Structure 1
Amino acid sequence: MTRSYTIRIRDRSSGEIHTLQVPEDRYILHNAEKQGVELPFLCRNGACTTCAVRVISGEIYQPEAMGLSPELRDRGYALLCVSYPRSDLEVETQDEDEVYELQFGRYFGKGKVKVGLPLDED
C-alpha cells in the first residue's frame, strides 16, 4: 500500500501556503498541479532551478535532481519536479536567480567573458 504525506508549500512570491496530499511514489510538482496548485517550473526533468525549494522540515527523495549540486542538496534545497516525499514536508519556494547564483555563481564571478582572445592570453 502506498503512503501519502502532507506537503505544505509556502510560495514566497505570492505569500500563499498550499497544503497537499502526495503519495510517496509521485512527484510533488505533478501532484500539486493535479490538485490545482500552480507553482514555478520550466524543464520538468530536474535540470534547471526554476522549481527549487528549501526544505524547512521533513524528508525528500530526489535522485534525478541533476540541476542541484550535492552541496545544495545537503543545504536543504530540492527540485519539486523530480522530488518524492518521504515524510510530511514543509518547503518554501526559492527565487530561481538566488539558487542559480548559489549553484553556478562561483564560475561566473570573474566578470564578463572576453571574446576573440587566443586561449593562452588574458
Structure 2
Amino acid sequence: MVPSFPVRVRDRRTNTEHIVEVPADRYILETAENQGACLPFSCRNGACTACAVRVIAGELYQPEAMGLSPHLQRQGYALLCVSYPRSPLVVETQDEDEVYELQFGRYFGKGPVRRGLPLDEE
C-alpha cells in the first residue's frame, strides 16, 4: 500500500490555501488539480519555473526537476509538476519571474550581450 500525505499549498497569487491528500507515487500538481485546486503551471515537465514553490515544512522528492538548479533545490525550492510528497508538506507558490531570476540572473544581469564585428568588417 502506497502512503499518502497531506499537502498544504499557499497560493500567493490568489491569497488562497489548498489542502490536498497526495499519494507518495503521484505528482503533487496533478493530484491537487484532480482535487479541485487551481495552481500555476506551464510545461508540466519540470523544465520551467511556473509551478515553483518554496518548501516551508516537510520533505518531497523531485528527481525530474531540471528547471531548478541543485543550488535552488537545496535552498528549498521545488517544482510541483514533478514533485512527490515524502511527508506532510507545507509549500508556498513563488513568482515565476523571481525564481527565474534566481536561476538565471547571474547570466543575464550583466547587460546586453556584446557581439564582435561582423565577419566582413574584421
Give the TM-score of the pair, scaled to structure 2: 0.94
Q: Distance in 2 between matches of 1:80 and 1:8?
A: 12
Matched, 1:102 2:108: no
Letter of the 1:26 counterpart: R
Residue aligning to 1:40? 40
In 2, Cα distance between the equivalents of 1:69 and 1:118? 35
SS in 1 for 2:19: strand
* Percentage of identical aligned residues: 72
What runs of 5+ residues in structure 2 fail to find an aligned partner? none
Q: Measure, in 1, the Cα distance between the counterparts of 2:117 and 2:8.
A: 51
Residue equivalent to 2:5? 5
Q: SS in structure 1 opposite 2:48?
A: coil
For structure 1, the 5+ residue unaligned runs are none
Alpha-carbon displacement from aligned partner over 1:54-95 (angstroms, at most 9, x marks no partner):
000000100000000000000000000000000000000000
CA–CA separation in structure 2 for the residues paired with 1:36 and 1:63: 25
Match of residue 80 from structure 1: 80
1:65 counterpart residue number? 65
Report the 3-state secondary structure (helix = DSSP H, G, I; strand = E; otherwise coil) of the residue aligned with 1:110: coil
RMSD of aligned Cα (Å)? 1.4
Question: 1:56 & 1:117 partners in 2: Cα distance?
Answer: 50
Q: Which residue is equivalent to 1:51?
A: 51
Change (3 A) 1:72 1:29: same
The number of residues matched between the two structures is 119
